[in-house]
Amino acid sequence: MSAVTNPGTRQASDAGAGGPLLEVTDLAVEFRTPDGVVRAVDGLSYRVEAGRTLAIVGESGSGKSVSSLAVLGLLPDTARVTRGSVRLAGTDLLTLSRKAHRARCGDQVAMVFQDALAALNPVHTVGYQLTEALRARQGLSRGDARRRAVELLDLVKVPNAKARVKEYPHQFSGGMRQRVMIASALAMDPDVLIADEPTTALDVTVQAQVLRLLAEIQAERQMGLVLITHDLGVVAGVADDVTVMYAGRAVEQAPVAPTYTTPAHPYTRALLRSIPSASGTGRLPVIPGRPPSPAAMPSGCPFHPRCDAVRDICRTEVPPLATPAEGRTSACHFAEDIMAGHDPAPDAAAADAPAPNDGPNNGGGDHE
């Protein structure tokens, strides 16, 4: 690990091999809105180890981006962390002062943002932005900074790096710009990299290239990588573990392979079904309805109004994050049934109802 030369990461190496680099526990984030306080993230926990990739998957509004902004202390003024801890190499970032928290960003944990055109500053050269932190924080000289900028662009395979460091973000194509974004996050050799939908704004072919690049760099540097995405399809080839989020909570957490073969939550199952396949014929199954607004959460399980295996208990009781099998967690009352590949036994009372989620007592309240 080349990062040991960096004094800021000393604790990371002390934590020892195998221990989690980043451990988020029971994180909850609330937003003040004109409609009152809404909870965007509710009790999220995850851990990332060196050299491993965790994918956080969810629809927009599921809290996946907000939780990573909380890790970096970049939440907007209207948001606040109400409970939980974010331990980075053993230190709880949330107990630090804002300044001390900020000081760990960049060199211990760095972030790649979604829309590189907006996330890069249009009025500074790419070279300046790549090494800005090195110059301001580590006092790198101008010449060294330029050399380092060229190295970084080479690292992310931007051709003709020497000339391109003098150019501005708008002179780069979308894919190249995203590479610049990645290079800028790598500038201080972070232990953990959080990539927030790094490929969403890109063409499909470019998406694959950028993902492959991220995976290569991650493997080479033995970084912990958190890959945030709404596309379960991109996860399979890159990630080791998956956390599926729905309405601010983790609904399923497991290694990638078993998640794909035997999902333990109806939401994951529905997401997997809605990935288009090349051989697929006929209609692509979609998940009916929309994710609930955090201001108007349904009773019971937040997913029940859209669930195709809903039972009475789902409408009244919030399922805890349970462990239906070794290494698997799922927030579903019927996780074992779903894993086994069949729907849970019908409710005794509603056995003769035509369809499980079509009954008149659909407890979704104000949801369609």
Partner 1 sequence: MGRYIVRRLAQAVGTLLLVMFVLHLLTTVAIQLNGTPAQAFFGDRVASPAQIASVERRFNLDDPCFDQPGNPCLGPFVERLGQYARGDLGTNLRGREVTDIVAAAAPNTLRLFSVVLVTWLALGMLLGSAAARWRGSPGDHGIRLSSVLIDAFPVFVLLVVYRYVVAVPLNRWSEQTFGENSWPPYWFKPSFDPSHPWATIVVPGILLGLAGSAAFIRLVRASQLESYQGDHVRTARSKGLGERHVILHHVVRNSSVPVVTAIGLAFVEGLGGAVITEGIMNIYGIGGVLWQAVQDDDVALVIAVVTLLTVVTVLVMIIVDIVYALLDPRIRYE
Q: Which residues bind partner 1 (CB under 8 A)?
A: 72, 74, 99, 102-107, 110-111, 113, 115, 118-124, 132-133, 136-137, 168, 170-171, 181, 184-185, 187-188
Sheet holding 79-88, edge to edge: 36-49, 20-33, 79-88, 91-92
Q: Where are the beta strands (DSSP E) in 34-136?
A: 36-49, 53-57, 79-88, 91-92, 109-112
Q: How far apart are CA 64 and CA 246, in angstroms?
A: 9
Sheet harboring 224-229: ordered strands across? 109-112, 192-196, 224-229, 53-57, 241-246, 249-255, 328-330, 322-325
**Which is closer to partner 1, CB of 10 or CB of 124?**
124
Q: What is the DSSP letter of 96?
A: S
CB of 327 to partner 1, least distance (A): 32
Burial zone of 191 (CB within 10 Å; 0-12 exposed, 13-18 middle, 19+ buried): buried
Q: State in angstroms the smallest separation of the CB of 31 from partner 1.
A: 16
Give the span between the Cα atoms of 178 and 220, in whole angstroms.
19
Task: For partner 1, give the closer residue by CB, 65 or 259.
Answer: 65
| Minimum gap (Å) between residue 301 Cβ and partner 1 | 33
Q: How far is the CB of 258 from partner 1 (least distance, A)?
A: 33
Which CB atom, from 37 or from 100, has the smaller least distance to partner 1? 100
Closer to partner 1 by Cβ: residue 27 or 232: 27
Nearer to partner 1, 104 or 306 (CB): 104
CB 86 to partner 1: min, Å = 14
Closest separation in Å from C-beta 174 to partner 1 = 15
Cβ contact 292:305 at 8 Å = yes
Give whichever of 142 and 283 is closer to partner 1, judged by the CB atom: 142
- Enumerate helices (H) and strands (E) in the chain, giving the number of each: 14, 12
* First CA to last CA distance, the chain: 51
